[in-house]
Structure 1
Amino acid sequence: MRVMVFVKATKDSEDGVLPSKELIEAMGRFNEELTAAGIMQAGDGLKPSAQGKRVAFDGDGRTVIDGPFAETKELVAGYWLWEVRDMDEAVAWVKRCPNPMPGPSEIEIRPLYEAEDFAELFD
């Protein structure tokens, strides 16, 4: 089962506050554990939404929206792509993760669609 693990943004991450050296080292060790266990397939931190853009679709129309974007709690500051047995294993790994932000933070886990999820459409 593949899951996308999102580190949710905070005011600090949106303000461009960089993590401490200690946090970078702790996250590096955690990423090494994930890699050694065959869990981590990809992962990175994201720059603040002020440096991003969104493209809104409406029929054939496209509108480019410059960041920053409102509702920090709905933004993503980083991600991992993991291969796990099940959601319980993903939760267990997230519980081992160092707090990715200097203050309170959240990590969200979402399963990816796989080809077999669409099999009935192609019978």
Structure 2
Amino acid sequence: MRFMILVKATKDSEAGVMPDTQLMAEMGRFNEELVSAGIMQAGEGLHPTSKGARVRFSGKNRSVIHGPFAETNELVAGFWIWKCKSLAEAIEWVKRCPNPMLVDSEIEIRQVFEAEDFGDALTPELREQEDRLRAATASGQPQAE
């Protein structure tokens, strides 16, 4: 099972306050543990929403909303993609994580959908397309048209 681990934003992270050397070292050690255990597949921090945008969909219309965005507790400051045997295992790993912020914070855990989760809606043609796109993504090469 794959899980997306969402590091929730704080007022400091939204203000662009960067972690200190000690926190960077602690997170580096934790990431080393994750990689050594075969858990971590990806992970990155995100710039504040003041440098981002949202695209709102309404029927065929699209509108762009530029950051910063309100409601800091609903924003994401970073993420990992982990491969774990269960939600319980992902929870245990998150509990070992250093606090990623300088203040009280939260980390959210969400399971990533896999092809099997879509049942009959994922036809053989759609599964082939999914496999082809994953292979192209993994290779880093653009897909031939």
TM over 0.5, shorter chain: yes
- Tell me what 1:3 maps to: 3
Change (3 A) 1:14 1:85: same
Which residue identity lines up with residue 49 of structure 2 in the other structure? S
TM-score, reference length from structure 1: 0.97
3-state SS of the aligned residue for 1:82?
strand
Q: State the number of aligned residues.
A: 123
TM-score, reference length from structure 2: 0.83
Which protein is richer in strand relative to its size? Answer: 1
Shift of 1:122: 4.8
Q: Describe the superposition over 1:56-103 as per-residue Cα deviations: whole angstroms up to 9, x where unpaired.
A: 011111101000001000000000000000001000000000000001
Higher relative contact order (CA 8 A, sep 6+): 1
Q: How does 1:36-115 map to 2 (within 5 A)?
A: 36-115=36-115
Which protein is richer in helix relative to its size? Answer: 2
Rg larger in structure: 2
Q: Percent identity?
A: 62
Structure 1: stretches of 5+ with no match in the other structure: none
The answer to whether residue 116 in structure 2 is matched with residue 116 in structure 1 is yes
Distance 1:104 1:47 in 2: 19
CA RMSD in angstroms, aligned pairs only: 1.0
Distance 1:60 1:119 in 2: 28
Change (3 A) 1:118 1:12: same
3-state SS of the aligned residue for 2:94?
helix
